[in-house]
Chains A and B, each alone.
Chain A
């Protein structure tokens, strides 16, 4: 007779308890082995490039990195809620526009003590270092930068008999009138001044080239000063729309992407455009003006220069990363791998440039033969380097930037539409700035 296998209640409970204990021990050991990875967050750009470079980092260092990305449009809000919810993040992409806000909230920390990161400053454009510094402290290492460029359609200029692109805003007006009179374009100059995130860059570029500023060195509003370049820039736009009719009044509803499409269809002779768009505009698969789109130095105003506005993105470091010496050291390694050199080269910046045409703030890369060759396919590398060296950071980046930016954009648009004078618009903007500064 076969012996009947019996499971008593006691033995069942004992075995279950042993099983649960074993699972718990194995699980915790597993978690320990996974050893608390580094947490790295980006917006959803060049995701495959990031992943491949990350894989190389993990393979080389043996460190584990948890990578997550979310759309650019909601990235700020996503990160803010993650910070508040104390989600684990060690390093992340940061826009220069958010730096004061995040630094004041204590969500990102200065990196001045990490010499392996700050050592790159000497090889980076000054406005990049300025843009990732707040209250005298540096908050990261840059990996991408760009500037607002003045581009033109060489074919339209040829047809109009214009030998060289304009050097000043007065020349932009004159050449545009010639082009318009010859019927080559209804709105020769294209401006994208819709209320969107790009608006501040378009306005800042025009104001800087007129020798103006939004704020002085003490952070007080100077845009409302009639002698400031801000007034000259806004007056130029208003005249261009209402008096000379060389810019379409629809500029106030034209966003950056719509402007790209419009320029690529060959309807315009001149435009302000983020420099990285040159690649798209000179790509025959995406543009009807491929091979005809050139970049020129930003036209200058009467009291201005060829200055433009630059922006940048950088790797920021969180208090969580700095809370532990080992974690901090590993995070610094990761930041340098992406923002600095990896195996002796600026690998990630080169990959990013090849992948999506993203610009770089590293001066030495302008001398890199491979990069020069790539740039030469669609732009004048010398001129691009020269213009980038004249770029300046936005002088309005403060914790209250977003709130002011809405009022400022709205005020500029009202002036362009003729609802208020340029002086009234700038006063509204300046008053709002000073009120917010006082509140802060």
Chain B
């Protein structure tokens, strides 16, 4: 036994963490506790619930059903019809948001009088609370006293008031329009930031090479905007797929089942039918689908994101 062995503290007596680590842990602990209570625990618990046939109105019969809730949801044709509507809505909403956002960003990237005022005005729809936005569009679309009918009638485009949200063929497009109106400002601002970050010498070099404005847009602007564009697409897709507010406020899933999207079905199953097991299973399916889709979009559009 040498001296160094004798002087070293025994392994069990050595503190597991040093003073600095323990201090850091102490500071992080309150936040970590809150985070665990409000985020981690609910997520884990909702998964646990999704494995039970839990219906609040049947409190004495809550069997463990493994993945039956998931199987039932995935084998329900109504669910797949809702998925189809969700995809239709999301494609309309995201494409329109991205295209309009890009056009507005390109406009605001140019120097012209009133550009700053226009930029400020652009943010108004985004700043309006979602519920207020929904109620506003409900008034606009109303078939009896709505502003849309009033304007079209007075401008002579229609002879009599038309049915808007009550027409199953138009419902999703009209809701998507209300969604786009609110979401375009954010997309435009994000894309504008992306445009500002493109180095000017890239455009100068393209000009020297004889590229006209259209070529510069397709060969310089769009590739350089890739990561920002991917961010906008991913963010808006995630918002659109899970969107609920407008469906609740404008149509309550109707007319018929024309606006029964997945988020609406989750609401009905969970909060109307009080079937928490099925509702949790649907929520997990939606969350996983959103995650997968986001991953695919990021891979496809913006490897540098």
Given contacts A105-B57, A248-B163, whether A253 and B256 have CB atoms under 8 Å apart is: no
- From residue A126, how far is it (CB to closest CB) to chain B in Å? 28
Q: Is B273 part of the contact surface with A, judged by Cβ < 8 Å?
A: yes
Return chain B residues, CB-CB under 8 Å to A196: 252
With A413-B254, A417-B168 in contact, is A81–B163 under 8 Å at CB?
no
B109 within 8 A of A: no
User: Is the CB–CB distance between A253 and B274 below 8 Å?
Assistant: no
Give, as a whole number of angstroms, the nearest-CB distance from A267 to chain B: 8
* Interface mask (A253-285 → B, CB under 8 Å = 1, otherwise 0): 110001000100001000000000000000000
Flag if A81 contacts B56 (CB, 8 Å).
yes
What mask results when residues 150 to 165 of chain B are scored 1 for a CB within 8 Å of chain A, else 0?
0000000000100101
CB pair A399–B57 under 8 Å, yes or no, is: yes
B5: interface (CB < 8 Å): no
Bound-state Cα–Cα, A402 to B275, Å = 11
- A239 CB–B CB distance under 8 Å: no
Q: Chain A: which residue is nearest B268 at the CB level?
A: A406
Residue from the set B56, B165, B260 with the largest chain A CB neighbour count within 10 Å: B56
Q: Given contacts A80-B274, A249-B163, are A105 and B59 in contact (CB under 8 A)?
A: yes
Instruction: Flag if B254 contacts A262 (CB, 8 Å).
Output: no
Q: Mark A415-434, 1 if CB is under 8 A from B, else 0.
A: 01101000000000000000
Contact A253–B160 (Cβ < 8 Å): no
Closest to B143 in A: A250
Question: Of residues 340 to 358 in A, which have CB atoms within 8 Å of B's CB atoms?
Answer: none
| Cα separation A195 to B256 with both chains bound (whole Å) | 8
Which of the residues A105, A251, A252, A410 comes within 8 Å of B58, measured between beta carbons? A105
Residues in B neighbouring A104, C-beta threshold 8 A: 57-58
| A252, B254: Cβ atoms closer than 8 Å | yes
A300 CB, nearest partner CB in chain B, Å: 28
Q: Does B134 sit within 8 A of A, measured CB to CB?
A: no
Q: CB < 8 Å: which of B144, B166, B260 contacts A262?
A: B144
- Expressed in whole angstroms, the Cα–Cα distance for A81 and B253 within the complex equals 25
Encoded as 1 (CB less than 8 Å from any A CB) or 0, chain B from 269 to 292 comes to 001111000000000000000000
Pick the residue among B56, B160, B165, B167 that contacts A186 (CB under 8 A).
B160
B160: A residues at CB distance < 8 A: 186
Q: Which of B60, B142, B163, B254 contacts A106, CB < 8 Å?
A: B60
Interface residues on B, range: 20 to 34
- B256 and A413 contact, CB distance less than 8 A: yes
Contact indicator B274/A417 (Cβ below 8 Å): no
Whole-angstrom distance between the alpha carbons of A196 and B167 in the complex?
A: 17
B69 within 8 A of A: no
- In whole angstroms, what is the CA distance A84 to B57 when docked? 9
When the two chains form their complex, are residues A410 and B257 in contact, meaning their CB atoms are under 8 A apart?
A: yes
Checking B144, B255, B273 against A413 with a beta-carbon cut-off of 8 angstroms, the contacting residue is: B255
Asked if A101 CB lies within 8 Å of chain B CBs, one says yes
The complex places the Cα of A337 from the Cα of B59 at a distance, in Å, of: 32
Q: Does A77 contact B (CB under 8 A)?
A: yes
Given the complex of chains A and B, what is the CA–CA distance between A77 and B56 in angstroms?
9
Residue of A nearest to B165 (CB): A253
Enumerate chain B residues within 8 angstroms of A416, measured Cβ to Cβ. 255
Q: How far is the CB of A167 from chain B (nearest CB, A)?
A: 29
B 27-64 binary contact with A (CB < 8 Å = 1; else 0): 00000000000000000000000000000111110000
Q: Is B251 an interface residue (CB 8 A)?
A: yes
User: Does A414 touch B at the CB level, under 8 Å?
Assistant: yes
B57 touches A195 (CB 8 A): no
Number of A-B residue pairs, CB cutoff 8 Å, is 87
Taking a contact as CB atoms closer than 8 A, the residue among A106, A186, A250, A414 that contacts B256 in the complex is A414
In whole angstroms, what is the CA distance A414 to B252 when docked?
14
Q: Once the chains bind, are A195 and B59 in contact (CB under 8 Å)? A: no
B64-78 contact mask (Cβ, 8 Å, vs A): 1 or 0: 000000000000000
Per-position binary interface string of chain B over residues 86-100, scored 1 when its CB falls under 8 Å from any chain A CB and 0 otherwise: 000000000000000
Q: Which chain B residues (123-149) contact chain A, with CB distance < 8 Å? A: 142-144
| CB-contact partner of A249 in B56, B167, B260, B268, under 8 A | B167
The minimal Cβ–Cβ distance linking B13 to chain A, given in whole angstroms, is 37
B101 CB to nearest chain A CB (Å): 30
A258 surroundings in chain B (CB, below 8 A): 142, 144
A250 touches B166 (CB 8 A): yes
A403 on the interface (CB 8 Å rule)? yes
Given A80-B57, A414-B257, A417-B168: A253 and B251 within 8 A (CB)?
A: yes
Q: Does A194 contact B (CB under 8 A)?
A: yes
B59 touches A84 (CB 8 A): yes
Cβ–Cβ contact A253 & B254, under 8 A: yes
B254-A410 in contact (CB<8A): yes
Question: Are the C-beta atoms of A248 and B143 separated by less than 8 Å?
Answer: yes
A250 adjacent to B144 (CB under 8 Å): yes
Taken together as a complex, chains A and B put the C-alpha atoms of A252 and B271 apart, in Å, by 23
Q: Which A residues lie within 8 Å of B252 (CB)?
A: 194-196
Q: What is the CB-to-nearest-CB distance from B61 to chain A, in angstroms, rounded to a whole number?
A: 10
> Which chain B residue has the least Cβ–Cβ distance from A76?
B274
Partner of B272 from A105, A250, A406, A417 at Cβ < 8 Å: A406
B166 to chain A: which residues have CB within 8 Å?
A: 249-254, 417
Among B252, B255, B257, residue most surrounded by chain A Cβ atoms (within 10 Å): B255
A249-B253 Cα distance, complex, nearest whole Å: 17
For A384-419 the 0/1 string (1 means CB < 8 A from B) is 000000000000000100110010011101101101
In residues 236-268 of chain B, which contact A (Cβ within 8 Å)? 251-257, 260, 268
Q: Give me 17 A-to-B residue pairs in the complex whose CB atoms sit less than 8 angstroms apart, sorted by A's number.
A: A80-B274, A83-B59, A102-B57, A105-B57, A106-B59, A186-B160, A248-B144, A248-B163, A250-B163, A254-B166, A262-B144, A267-B144, A402-B272, A403-B273, A406-B272, A413-B255, A414-B168
Q: A77-B271, A248-B163 are in contact. List 12 more A-B contacts (CB 8 A).
A: A77-B274, A80-B57, A84-B56, A105-B60, A106-B60, A196-B252, A250-B163, A253-B143, A258-B142, A267-B144, A409-B254, A417-B256
Q: Kindly list the 5 A-B residue pairs having the minimum CB-CB distance in the complex, ordered from nearest.
A: A250-B143, A414-B256, A253-B166, A252-B255, A413-B256
